[in-house]
């Protein structure tokens, strides 16, 4: 497959626009933290040491170092523009994945002090192939020093409106995904690496996921887009109360909060896809309470595909202003970087 790169002039213009935004308008983002140039370390331990220096540099600059735990890179991603956006957004590190391993490798080699490699994320449901090629590939990438199992997209919607052959095909697809994901969880438990999961809340899906996490207590799942419910009819009970109960039962489930901004005010009653904010844009006190009480289970991540740099900055600024700034200082630190650091490295952040 051809590697479709954006025209060099377009990439340069985007980077220049972002830089100009930072120079001309304080509201466009924060000034970059000074970081010493670094070569890509040869070992996992060397990478961790370099990541520690980056986080500490943010702390020394009196900045809250956010670790973005879920960035998807396209094959032609402009990673230099991404890092500039991270500077302006106050993001110290970003855990990155992509459908192609070489995209991740190039990005991490170019920005070794800012980007943390996860294993590749196959397109669609190709990860559920019965030949289990993903297990062999994932094992190789983890052996080479990657820090987690890249995003798996599960679609367990039962297709209740389908019938005949289409209904049987849907049931077969769900069965195939469940078997493949269970094998991935076994690998997660064996190696001690978390698996990133994208899955809409479903009546059957969440219950099934909880049963698998109970069956493989040594595994860990990082479920993204928490608080975002695009189809409220799929799991009417979904909300902060249900997630409080699930995290009490399943210590190996971690949740990435959505960074989608609050919805526009509406004078008519309507389902709200972003449950984190009350009508009018105020951070929900109910969600604040569950974050404070179950903070060990929550981490930060943009959970989005390739964004324009300015959009990436806006999303993180909305997230900081709307959520992080509304938490107590201990919870804010845990959500911004402490929990992510422990999940990636296996050790607590000292100090």
Phi, psi (rounded to 5 degrees) for 97: -140, 175
Residue length of the chain: 351
pLDDT tens, 201-257?
887 789 999 999 999 999 999 999 899 988 888 888 999 999 999 999 999 999 999
Residue 203 and residue 46: Cα distance in Å, rounded?
43
Q: What is the pLDDT of residue 2?
A: 39
Domains of the chain, each with CATH number or no CATH: 42-263+272-345 (3.20.20.140)
State the sign of the Cα–Cα–Cα–Cα dihedral 73, 78, 80, 83.
negative
Q: Over the Cα atoms of the chain, what is R_g? A: 20
Q: Residues 81-92, buried b or exposed e (16+ Cβ, 10 A)?
A: bbbbbbbbbbbb
Average pLDDT, the chain: 88
pLDDT tens, 168-208?
999 999 999 999 999 999 999 999 999 999 998 887 789 99
Residue 150 has pLDDT above 60, yes or no: yes
């Amino acid at each position: 497959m051809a590697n479709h790169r954006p025209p060099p002039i377009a990439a340069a213009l985007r980077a220049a626009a972002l830089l100009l935004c930072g120079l001309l308008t304080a509201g466009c983002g924060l000034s970059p933290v000074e970081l010493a140039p670094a070569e890509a370390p040869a070992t996992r331990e060397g990478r961790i040491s370099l990541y520690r220096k980056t986080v500490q540099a943010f702390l020394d600059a009196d900045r809250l170092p956010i670790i973005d735990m879920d960035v998807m890179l396209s094959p032609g991603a402009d990673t230099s523009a991404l890092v500039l956006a991270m500077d302006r957004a106050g993001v110290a590190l970003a855990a990155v994945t992509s459908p192609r391993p070489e995209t991740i490798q190039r990005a991490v080699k170019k920005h070794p002090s800012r980007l943390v490699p996860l294993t590749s994320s196959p397109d669609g449901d190709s990860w559920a192939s019965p030949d289990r090629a993903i297990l062999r590939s994932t094992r190789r990438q983890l052996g080479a020093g990657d820090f987690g199992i890249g995003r798996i997209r599960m679609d367990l919607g039962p297709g209740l409106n389908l019938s005949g052959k289409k209904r049987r095909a849907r049931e077969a697809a769900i069965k195939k995904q469940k078997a493949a994901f269970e094998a991935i969880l076994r690998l997660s438990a064996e190696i001690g690496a978390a698996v990133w999961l994208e899955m809409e809340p479903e009546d059957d899906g969440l219950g099934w996921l909880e049963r698998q996490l109970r069956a493989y207590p040594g595994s860990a799942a990082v479920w993204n887009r928490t608080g975002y419910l695009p189809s409220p009819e799929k799991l009417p009970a979904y909300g902060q109360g249900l997630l409080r109960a699930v995290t009490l039962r399943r210590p190996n489930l971690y949740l990435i909060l959505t960074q989608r901004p609050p919805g526009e005010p509406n004078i008519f009653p309507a389902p709200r896809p972003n449950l984190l904010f009350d009508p009018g844009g105020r951070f929900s006190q109910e969600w604040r309470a569950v974050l404070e009480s179950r903070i060990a289970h929550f981490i930060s991540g943009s959970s989005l595909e390739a964004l324009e740099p300015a959009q990436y900055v806006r999303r993180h600024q909305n997230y900081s202003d709307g959520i992080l700034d509304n938490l107590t200082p201990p919870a804010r630190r845990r959500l911004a970087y402490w929990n992510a650091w422990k999940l990636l490295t296996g050790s607590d952040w000292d100090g």
